[in-house]
Structure 1
Amino acid sequence: MEITTPTEELHQQMDSWKEEVNEVRSEVKMMRERLEQIALSKASRDVMTQVEHFENRLLRQREVADEMHHDIKQCAKKMANTPVTVIHDDRPIDDFQTIQHRMEIFQKLYMSLKEDFNHFMPVEV
């Protein structure tokens, strides 16, 4: 049995995801600032290697957040029947379920990054 969700609820969900993605962007910015403080200190080579590692992960997380935000907006436009031509073979935005699945992966990966970062930071700050 297939259950349909009213378009209004789907748009509310997508708005919620956009807010969540924006929160991730903000948190990533704060994490990068904390890393900069360590980078400017006279930390050991091992710590600096970890700093570089997290800088790379945070940079990629920001890129993915930007992609998700864009694709959520495009999916919302498509659901509103606004004619939009968007082709992303690597980032499908065809339907709500696809965006929902991608958002779940985005959330899991970000939580893993945040957990790793928080384990690193208290020791080094």
Structure 2
Amino acid sequence: MSKSEFISEQHKENVEWSSKLDFYKDEIEILQKRLDEIAVKNNKKEVLTSIEYFQNQLIIHRNTIDEIQHGVNVSEDALVSEVKKNPVASDHRKTKYHQAEKEEIQILEKVFKELREEFNRFVSKWI
């Protein structure tokens, strides 16, 4: 049996996830600026190799965020469509829970935290 939840709760979760994803996008921009600062100040091969590694990681994370955001948008569009089809008592109806998006967000948060910690160790070494 699949898990379900109220449409209004799922909408609230979609909004929260979109905010988190926007936060991570902003943080990627901040990390990229820090990388640019380090690149200007250091031209050692070891530093440049690490900069390239982190740039690639940021690109991967940006793409992952975009993919997750797309999934959240699709979920939100389905909710809107469901409510438009039958707006009566929509706040009391349930829909299939979006477990895949929840798991993707959790994994993103874990992996991004690890990347941020690794990045901060790198920055502290070269600034």
With structure 1 as the length reference, what TM-score do the two structures score? 0.82
Aligned to 1:61: 61
Q: Corresponding residue for 1:87?
A: none
Q: What runs of 5+ residues in structure 2 fail to find an aligned partner?
A: 83-95
Higher relative contact order (CA 8 A, sep 6+): 2
**Residue 108 of structure 1 is aligned with which of 107, 110, 122?**
110
- Unpaired runs of 5+ residues, structure 1, are 83-93
Deviation string 1:66-94 (CA, Å, 9 cap, x unpaired) is 11112111111113336xxxxxxxxxxx9
Contact 1:72-1:99 at 8 Å conserved across structures: yes
Q: Deviations over 1:50-70 (max 9, x none)?
A: 111101001111111111112
The list of structure 1 runs, each at least 4 consecutive aligned residues, that deviate by more than 4 angstroms after superposition, is: 1-4
The normalised TM-score by structure 2 is 0.80
Aligned residues: 114
The structure richer in strand per residue is 2
Is 1:75–1:95's contact at 8 Å kept on the other side of the alignment? Answer: no
Partner Cα distance (2:2, 2:98) in 1: 14
Q: Which has the larger radius of gyration?
A: 2
Cα displacement (A) at 1:2: 7.5
* Alignment match, 2:78: 78
- 1:90 aligns to what? none
Identity over aligned pairs, percent: 24
Looking at structure 2, the residues matched to 54 and 27 of structure 1 have their Cα atoms a distance apart, in angstroms, of 13
Letter in 2 for 1:104: Q
Paired position in structure 1 for 2:38: 38
Q: After alignment, is 59-68 or 20-29 more displaced?
A: 59-68
Show the counterpart of 1:96: 98
Give the Cα separation in 2 of the matches to 1:81 and 1:14.
15
